[in-house]
Each structure stands twice: as structure tokens, then as C-alpha cells.
A and B are shown apart, each in its own frame.
Chain A
Amino acid sequence: MIQFNNVAKTFRKARVLDGISLNIGIGERVALIGSNGAGKTTLIRCLLGEYTFDGSVSINGLDPRSHRTAVLGKIGFVPQLPPPLKMPVGQLIEFSASLCGTDPQRIHAIARRLGLDLEAILTRQFVRLSGGMKQKLLISIALGRDAQVLVMDEPAANLDPEARKIFFDLLAERLNDATMIISSHRLDEVSALVNRVIEMDMGKVVLDDKVADDVSLTGTVSCRILLKRFEPAFAKALDGWRIAPVDEKQLEWRGEIAGPDRLRFLGIVSRYTALVADLSLAEC
């Protein structure tokens, strides 16, 4: 479906992509990982036909540069940094929906599921929204159409755990009909979402591996944490994950987290390891 054939990109004298060759099939969910400057964003921009480069990229046999509208009509893109658009939210939705040939109500519906009260912000400038709201809106625009390829650059970085859970549900609904490329500089952010990991470094692919995708995108994990003593900072962190105390001394905490988020959650808990007397996670 997506083919990168010996793709190389040089900015002045710096070689940012160095002969990348990849083949990504239908239904694959690819984690594109690597440190800053590894070439992930450049590779995505080549895929979107935004950069000129040596070699070739094709999606369903079409070059994204010379067949822009046909190719990009099938790609939903969520950038890492939301663009500073001054236009009102309503117009951004109308503009995107009109170009993509989709019903704006589909975008509205997804935004509502992500917890975004669109009616209240339709006339507000996009640039004036909070980071999380911008991210939810861009995800809604990407998912609110029949995209065959979803390209997402750190898509869930600004989302709260509840919105992340819904985001995973939305992705799960597209598992059978979309190829996903999810870029991140940390594997733990995206590991549970993907079935293939491509690691880049210095413009080259240094790892290309299939991974077991036993984790259900829609599943949840029941969590119980026993603390040695109460610590306000940790309590605040747990509250953010909607994990609540069940006793008066606030030493035992229980709650549910999204299945794909378990590694991320453990990352948060690891900061307070000394406080944790007991921890258990069980798939619901």
C-alpha cells in the first residue's frame, strides 16, 4: 500500500533521510520512533508530498506529489504541533470537510466523543484553544472522513487519560480499514497501539520489527495501588488518571485505565516507586 523506495533527503549539506526503503501494508499499525532529528517528521512530510526528495514514495501506486488531491484525500494527518491558525474553529471544520468531501457532522460527532464541546467554540479562533482542545479537533478532522491512511505525529501527547481512552476506541474502530503510522520519540507512548515498530536514527531505519498486538485497543485494565504513606503529589497524579482512594487514610487506590495506556501509566507510577507498597493490574 505505502512504498518508500530508496528515499533520500538533504537539507543544504545535511543528509536527513539516507536511502529509506519500506513497504507498509493495509491494516498495519506502525510506530515510527526515534530521537529528535532522526528523520521521522521529514519522512512523514515526504509521504504527504510536502518535500521534494530523491527516490520515490507511492500510496496505492500513486505519487503523493503529482497526484496530491487523490492521495491526500485518503490520508488523515495529525501534526505534532498544532498550527497557529487564526480562523474560527467552525471555518476550519468547514474548510477541511469541504476539501475532503466529508460531512462536517462526522467531524462534530468525533469531537463530541472526545469530549470537545464544539458548539461553544465554533466561533473561537483555533489558535486560542488549549493544547488538548486543539489536539482533539485535529484528531476529529483526521478521523472524521474515510481515510485509508492515518498519519499521526504524537497524537495523544496532549490528551488527558479519559480522552486517550476514547481516542484508542476510535482507532480500534478503524483497525480493519486503515493503515496507521504513529510517530513518537518514545516507544512506551505508542507501543500498545501498533503491530510494527520502525526505529529511525540519523536518517536511517535501524530497526524494523513486528510486535505482538495482543493488547486490545478497547480493553481496560483494573488497577489497585497500596501506598506506604499519603503523598499529595502522587495523589494528584492518580486523580488525573481517575484512580480514587477507597479508604479514609487514602492509602488504597482503585480505578480503571485504558489497556493501551498501561505502559504510560506505569511510567507515571515509577516516579513514586518508593511510596508504592503493592501494585496490581488486571485485564477487565
Chain B
Amino acid sequence: MKQLWLTAKLDIVESLRARWFQIYTLVFGGIVALLFVFGLTESRVLGFIGLSRLLVTYIQLTMAILPIFVLITTVRSVAGDREAGVFEYLLSLPVSLSAWFWGKIVGRYIVVFAPVFLAMLGAVIWATIVGIEVPWDMFGYYTALLAVMAMCFLGIGMLISSVARTTDMAQGAAFMVWLVLLLFLDLILLGVMIQGKIAPELAITLALANPLQVFRTAALALFDPQLIVLGPSAYVILDLFGAAGYKVFALAYPALLGLLSATAGYFLFRRGDLP
């Protein structure tokens, strides 16, 4: 356990000094600041006003940015470290491979999740100060959703890093994964369905298997509980899970996917050449 925390701490310190982290923090902090500056809390959409409106917008933007950011930065730094000889040296020290791999994940998770969460927390604190009502249920669920989103894509990123031997390959693979997930979002699936190429059940299964779509649907469900904007697929989702059930699924499935990906990555890492 001590080795794991040492490795996690090491990864946190390395990340805090990396340029990607500074940009990452600036992006999410900047989004919240801009949303306040442009008076989003004053505008009303679908009955949302105040901080709810800001949180809805923030999570939509986060869903667009966080996955690709986490994927690319994770594979870049892990595969880059391997290529540059960091692994050769640090893994010559007496640290177990499990402590090293999972320690890196823990450290990276903290670094990835903290700016996203702190930006949202900052918004809540500011809202409290200026007297805007805070929707705590929404804040809690969005926090859980962001935590799971970070876990999911970090796990996938670590799996790609274990498989790819070079930074270029790892980056290319990460981008492809993100692109595939993006292509299988509901709008494109809908287009495919309209053309009559695939069965509706298959399209909905694909949508439910796509973590990006799962997050998107879960975020939508908070301000559109009947999922009217999704069209007919909403019937399947709500019949299958129910509104509360889907909220749980949207947290459990991506978390499991991230954990399984990380575990697969760990076994591949342990089995192969380390540097």
C-alpha cells in the first residue's frame, strides 16, 4: 500500500508540473468563469435557471472535452514515459508492478478529476455567496457522473497505453477510440436506422454500450426525465431500466467498463516488456 501511494504521489507531482495539466485546469476553470461572466445563471432554457442552468451547460461541455483530453494525455504521458526511459529507471527500483500500475491510475485519477470537480465546486461556492439557490441533488449526481466519466476514460487510456508500444501508436489508437464512440452517438445511430440498415434493438444496444451516449442520456434525463428528445429509444431505455434505474446504470456501467479496461491493461502490462 505504501508503494502504491508513493507511486500515486509521484504521478501527481509529475502531472502538476506538466503543461497538459495547466491547460486542462485552465479549460475547465475557464468554462465555469465564462459561464458566469456571460450571465448564464440569468438565462432560462427548458425551465432551468440559475445554477441548474449553469450545471447543465457545464456537464454538456465537459462531456465533449473530458474524454478526449483524458485519453490523449494519459496515453501520451504513459507511453511517452516508457519511450523516454522513465520506466527503465523507475521500474529498476523495488516497487511491485501492481503498486506501480494502480498507483499511477490513482494519481492520474486525482489529477484528472480534481480540476473538473473543483471548477464545479467553485461555481457552487460562488452561487452560495451571491445568493443563487444551489440544486444539491443535481450537483451530487453530476459530481458522481464526472467521477465515473474520468474513471471510464482513464481505464481505457491505461489499456491503450499497455497495448501500444510507441507514443504515436498510443495517440492514434486513443483518437480512434474516441472517434468510434463519437460516431456511435444517437444522432448517427438514428441516421443509420433511418436508412434501415440495422435493427432498432441493435441500435439501442450500441447506444447503451457507448459510454459517451450513456453519459449524454443521463445528463439529459436530469432535465428531461421522459427523455422526449431521444424519441422512440426513450421507451426502450425507460422500460428497461426505469428513470431511477437508468441513473444507476449510467454510473455503474461506465465505472465497470473503466475498471475492466484498467484491469485488462494491468495484466497486459505485467505480462510484457516493461520499458
Contact = CB atoms under 8 A, between A and B. Distances in A.
Contact of A99 (B94, B97, B272): B94
A126 B237 CA distance: 53
B88 A83 contact: yes
> Which residue of A75, A86, A96 has the most chain B CB atoms within 10 A of its CB atom?
A86
Interface residues of A, number: 31
A79 interface: yes
B93 interface: yes
Interface string A263-283: 000000000000000000000
B92 A95 contact: no
Given A86-B17, A95-B10, A50 B86 contact: no
A81 interface: yes
Contacts of B88: 45, 50, 79, 83
A87 B11 CA distance: 9
B65 interface: no
Contact of A50 (B9, B14, B273): B273
A234 to B, nearest CB: 36
A125 interface: yes
Given A52-B273, A98-B6, A81 B93 contact: no
Interface stretch (A54-62, A66-74, A157-165, A224-232): A66-74
A86 B18 contact: yes
A50 B91 contact: yes
Contacts, number: 83
Main secondary structure of the interface of A (DSSP, over half): mixed
Given A52-B273, A79-B88, A72 B93 contact: yes
B13 A91 contact: yes
Contacts of B96: 68-69
Given A70-B94, A98-B6, 19 more contacts: A45-B273, A45-B275, A50-B87, A50-B88, A50-B92, A69-B96, A72-B93, A72-B94, A72-B95, A79-B85, A79-B92, A82-B89, A83-B84, A83-B89, A85-B14, A87-B14, A95-B6, A99-B3, A99-B95
6 contacts: A52-B273, A82-B89, A83-B84, A86-B13, A98-B2, A99-B95
Interface of A: 45, 48, 50-52, 68-73, 75, 77, 79, 81-88, 91, 95-96, 98-100, 125, 138, 151
